[in-house]
Amino acid sequence: MKEEILRLLRSADGYISGQELCNRFGVSRTAVWKAINQLKEAGYEIEAQQNKGYRLMAAPDLMTEAEIKSLMHTDWVAKEVLYFDTIDSTNTKAQELAEKGYQSGTLVVADKQESGKGRRGRSWVSPSGTGIFMTLMIKPDINPNNASMLTLVAALAVAKAITSVTGEEAMIKWPNDIVVNGKKVCGILTEMNAQFDYINHIVVGIGINVHNESFPEEISQMASSLMIEAGGKRFHRAQIIADTMSYFEQYYDTFLKTQDLSALVREYDELLVNRNKSVRVLDPKEPFDGKAMGITPKGELIVDTWESRKLVSSGEVSVRGIYGYV
């Protein structure tokens, strides 16, 4: 009931009477009063006026189930939200939940990760109170060969959500990083559990630097946070989560129709920070330089070299700008 009351307070133009809440949920005024008090104790500023009712004045920067659900407007994504103050890894937890039979679309969120994972086995710095650490678990009926494209679907969703909430132009560094002003603010790690021709589940892990004030020296030239890039402005993390899930559902449903990115290529290319730029493809077999032109409907990066056009699959390949990160 708490998240529903919160949702109603958010959507109301003014006050909502206690009696209206009683009637809607079929509970007593005492039950409503208790729920309102629980929200106040959690940090919500709720004004109570006799003969008028309740009004939400301000909300804290929380990522609890109630807060996230009160902002969510999806059909199936993130209908189940599990929040943890501290966790080893949201990807690991989401995989455990999938094996326990949790439904597709379950979202795991944490304020801090003890063992955050990045692409190619790297660790992900995850201090509390600064970022968004979340993993969406899905059980798609698609060919396992097409699963890697979901990283690009997620990247498009995150970039759109960051721009909508912050007003900053978020771009995509193929295949799994989001950058603002040329600095990395988000990484995405997609992991799959599958048989030869059948997917059991996929987890899409997303880590966003929101309120970080500084970074270790070794990554300070390439990493940043939304707050730093927005000149010190703070953002509502749960709103970024809700918007990301909304965009993901939209783009994922489009992807499912063809099991490729054909309907999303144009939109993705518009946000591709590497596009029409010189890049270095760090292929373990044979690194090469070229010019990034965009992506194919299969999510491959199109790179024109001096001798030919090459299609680069994500896998174990990294792409860098010739003179730096992008």
Query: For the chain, which domains are there?
Result: 2-58 (1.10.10.10), 65-270 (3.30.930.10), 278-321 (2.30.30.100)
Cα-only R_g, the chain: 21
Structure confidence at residue 114 (pLDDT): 80
pTM of the model: 0.91
Q: Burial of 320 by CB count in 10 Å (0-12 exposed, 13-18 middle, 19+ buried)?
A: middle
Q: Got the DSSP string for 105-116?
A: TEEEEEEEESS-
180-232: pLDDT as tens digits: 999 999 999 999 999 988 999 999 999 999 999 988 888 888 999 999 999 99
Known binding-site positions for biotin: 89-91, 113, 184
Measured CA angle at 169 (ends 302, 59), to 5 deg: 135
Element (H, E) at 316: none
Known binding-site positions: 89-91, 113, 184
- Residue ranges with strand state E in the chain: 45-49, 53-58, 81-87, 106-113, 131-138, 170-173, 177-180, 183-194, 199-209, 278-282, 288-295, 301-304, 309-312, 318-321
Q: In the numeric block, which tokens belong to residue 290?
A: 């070229």
301, 312 in Cβ contact below 8 A? yes
Structure confidence at residue 215 (pLDDT): 84
Structure confidence at residue 219 (pLDDT): 84
33-84: pLDDT as tens digits: 999 999 999 999 999 999 899 999 999 999 999 999 999 999 999 999 999 9
Q: Which amino acid is at 131?
A: G
